[in-house]
A and B are shown apart, each in its own frame.
Chain A
Amino acid sequence: MENLGNSLLSARHISKEFSGVRVLNDINMEIRAGEVFGILGENGAGKSTLLKIICGIYTPTGGKLNFKGKDVKIQTPMEAKHLGISMIPQEFNLVPTLTVFENIFLGSEIKRGLLLNKREMRKKTGLLLDELKTRLSPDALIENLSVAEKQMVEIAKALVHESDILIMDEPTTVLTQLEVEVLFDLIQRLKEKNVTILFISHKLNEVKRVCDRILVLRDGDQICINEVKDVDEQDMAKKMVGRDLNQVFPPKSEPGDDGVLSVENLCDSTLLKDVSFELKRGELLGFFGLIGAGRTELAECIMGLRPKVSGDIRVKGEKVVIRSVGDALGYKLGYLSEDRKGKGLLMNFGIPENISLISLSKYSHWFIDKKREKQSAEKFTDKFNIKAASLDAELEYLSGGNQQKVYLSKWMDTEPFVLILDEPTRGVDVNAKKEIYYFIHSLISQGVSCMLISSELEEIIGLCTRVLVMREGRIAGEMEGSHINEQEIMFCAAGVE
């Protein structure tokens, strides 16, 4: 209350529920004009929900937003924009074949009569870009720009509409170190222009550097608001995590001694550098890392979906060459992609056709034995408790959890002996999660080895006997036993000493 005088945006008792599940709980904050306000939290803590409420994508279930002293109801992103709140999207919304100034004025072109007033738009864009101290030309084509330059154009696009608040959601994940410096300079200049910035990042050192104050969220609750000068990175990490694990995890079992899959000095052309590890029989090896750390790339490289530049892959000690999923299948490797809809399942097919897609040769010599295919699908729906109106129901009508179980069945039908699980519980409800955990456990105890890639720390800690942390395409650390705890893993992933 005491800050009401210079508060630009304030939230009072903001909460949000999705079909009865509370994802944000009583958030209260005052954002001051011209400050950089950081929002911190683990995946699923409620950061993006809060942002989406501020920029009009979601409407809150309860509470009020106050902007420039007036109570506001922001119903659509358009309304937010008119008020002066803009979001710099993670995926840029730029038309690659148009120029910088055409993109900046896209949808709000300056006209003279019926015709475009290109000269005016070009001039305004030029002034704006000068102000931002970039050397971009208004006439440059977007497709010729680097990622950082595109981000600059997005920022300019927000500023041309005279935004008071800029929301930056993980802006640095797509940038190189040098480009990050340029962005931080720009943030300083924006501050001087009295623009307020909401800054979301996983990288605590960045938060420490650019933010004035931070809000920490955990499981939808507001943990604290601090002046950044009062806290260090370790405090921030502690505030973000620090909670007991729920008992949804099966007991851990000890892996065997013999290695089944070993990767030596694996490099790809873009991200992966000298990745080495060994997976043991019946081991559940966790891979943690922030977005862009290279975990999915590693999995795809092993499966032959992404070319490797150097390094070796050995299966049971034997050096193998894998150029496609088909090759990987020959060595009984399996990969459950994180992108269930885009890469995993055929959403307009029924359950049996999806389950048998990889293992189809099992069901066909000349012709597909559809009866046997169906029986096998029934076996899996029983085993995994897959709920569907009928076996032939198209997959898009199944819930996320049931789809994921179909996806697991699809790979189980190939009888793999190493299974790479990439975010196996993403978009899955709590019950299905638990079922999937117990299923992974039963696989492990049968001697199957699994690599578990997950962005949910809780999951990694609750399930794995050994954890590798990746950062910027490298293995940044390895934890076992009591070292598998949220702080050590988070510090390692974020690069905090």
Chain B
Amino acid sequence: MRQGIMGTKNTQLETLKKIDFSRYAPLIALVVLIVLSAVASEHFLKFRNITNILRQVSYTGTIALGMTFVIVAGGIDLSVGSMVAFVGVLAIYLMNYLGGSILAVSVAVLAALVVGSLCGAFNGLIVTKGKITSFIATLGTMSIFRSLTLYISEAGEVIAQNELYPEIGGGYFMNIPYPVLVFLGLAGFFHVLLNNTAFGRHVCAVGANQQVAVYSAIKVRWVTFMTFVITGFSVGMTAVLLSSRLNSISPGDAGIFYELDAIAAVVIGGTPLAGGRGTIWGTVIGAVILGIINNMLNMLGVSPYLQGTVKGLVILVAVLAQYKKN
């Protein structure tokens, strides 16, 4: 009897150790990567380079923050890339219509966030009311958003006429680019939302076991719906950051493959695709890891055509590490 109890205690301790290690695996990977990069290139640790990397990752990183909620709840959103173009085009059209005032910029930014959230709500409705799996539902809307964007803009580049607009994507606060501040600020807010609110707990529960959630009086459909709205909101944010940086949006190219980068950041950050748990800080680290890899490959002069291969390998390794855990 006594032996039996000791035995189970030991295995429990072992599993706890395992969990702790895997919990911090993304952080460890990031540290290793930073050390390697610093050794490989003397320019890497320069302030300017770091802020550049962070700015680069802030676009897909911001989307990845929202995507974390969808994935933790057991879903996926493939439409985010097309949605960036769709929201961006609509926002710039509205701003150009409203003129050159700061008010026009504010209204356009607000509209981008609202339209993004509405697009997310549309995805959410198809998944919860239409009962179509999120993979298929957002595969459909991915095509719809892109095609509408091309139709509205007649496939031509949409240029912002308001001279105040580029300040959002290009400006600095205490030497830190605004997009980075938005990315990290939203990360902080979403971290609290996922970890410290009843809503966040319910998101995890729905992803961990939908049946248990139903039997525990959780409004499963509402929670699922809201994860898509949150993703849509963060897409709206990215649309503003990206289009204001470029001062334009290209309906055919904007946001291409953003869904892959966003999903990759979430997965590299340790959130299992099956859902049930996940962290926002993990996603931030995942996005930064992707950014550093891109940056280093550039600095080391690796062909841009090979960068996709490296990114792909990193994703595979991250997922393999998760399999081992289970």
Contacts and interface: CB of A to CB of B under 8 A. Distances in A.
A, B from the same assembly: yes
Contact of A346 (B12, B13, B205): B205
Contact of A358 (B9, B11, B217): B217
Contact of A348 (B201, B208, B218): B208
Contact of B212 (A346, A393, A394): A346
Contacts of A346: 204-205, 208-209, 212, 276
A410 to B, nearest CB: 8
Interface stretch (B135-143, B192-200, B286-294, B310-318): B192-200
A326 B219 contact: yes
Interface in B192-228: 192, 196-198, 201-202, 204-205, 208-209, 211-212, 214-219
B16 interface: yes
Given A358-B216, A393-B12, A343 B208 contact: no
B212 A344 contact: yes
Contact of A368 (B16, B198, B215, B217): B198
Main secondary structure on chain A at its contact with chain B?
loop
A393 B209 CA distance: 18
A389 interface: yes
A393 B16 contact: yes
A441 B197 CA distance: 36
Interface string B35-54: 00000000000000000000
Interface in A276-335: 305, 324-326, 328-329, 335
A325 B201 contact: no
Contacts of B192: 367
Nearest to A411: B216
Contacts, number: 78
A366 interface: yes
Given A325-B216, A337-B215, A358-B216, A368 B12 contact: no
A343 B211 contact: yes
A397 B201 contact: no
Interface centre among B15, B209, B218 (most CB of A within 10 A): B209
Contacts of B196: 367-368, 370
Contacts of A399: 8
A478 to B, nearest CB: 29
Contact of B215 (A305, A347, A390): A305
Given A349-B208, A357-B205, A360-B198, A389 B13 contact: yes
Contacts of B55: none
Contact of A389 (B16, B208, B209, B211): B16
* Chain B interface, DSSP helix/strand/loop, else mixed: helix
B212 A343 contact: yes
Interface in A450-493: none
Nearest to A330: B217
Contacts of A394: 15, 19
Interface string B1-40: 0001000110111011001000000000000000000000
Nearest to B196: A367
A342 B208 contact: no
Contacts of A325: 214-217
A474 to B, nearest CB: 25
A339 B208 CA distance: 16
B146 interface: no
Interface in B259-288: 276-277
A347 B208 CA distance: 8
Nearest to B15: A397
Contacts of B217: 324-326, 328-329, 358
B252 to A, nearest CB: 40
B277 A357 contact: no
Contacts of A19: 4
A6 interface: no
Contacts of B202: 360
B202 to A, nearest CB: 8
Nearest to B192: A367
Contact of A364 (B13, B15, B198, B204): B198
B211 A397 contact: no
B290 to A, nearest CB: 27
Given A329-B217, A364-B198, A348 B12 contact: no
B197 A348 contact: no
Nearest to A339: B211
A343 B215 contact: yes
A450 to B, nearest CB: 18
B190 to A, nearest CB: 14
A345 interface: yes
Contacts of A326: 217, 219
A366 B197 contact: yes
Given A325-B215, A345-B212, A368 B197 contact: yes
B15 A368 contact: no
A338 to B, nearest CB: 11
Contacts of B8: 397, 399
Contacts of B212: 342-346, 357
A390 B13 CA distance: 10
A300 to B, nearest CB: 9
Contacts of B201: 353, 357, 360, 368
16 contacts: A305-B214, A325-B215, A325-B216, A325-B217, A343-B211, A343-B212, A343-B215, A357-B218, A360-B198, A367-B192, A389-B13, A393-B12, A393-B16, A397-B11, A399-B8, A410-B216
Interface of A: 19, 305, 324-326, 328-329, 335, 337, 339, 342-349, 353, 357-358, 360-361, 364, 366-368, 370, 389-390, 393-394, 397, 399, 410
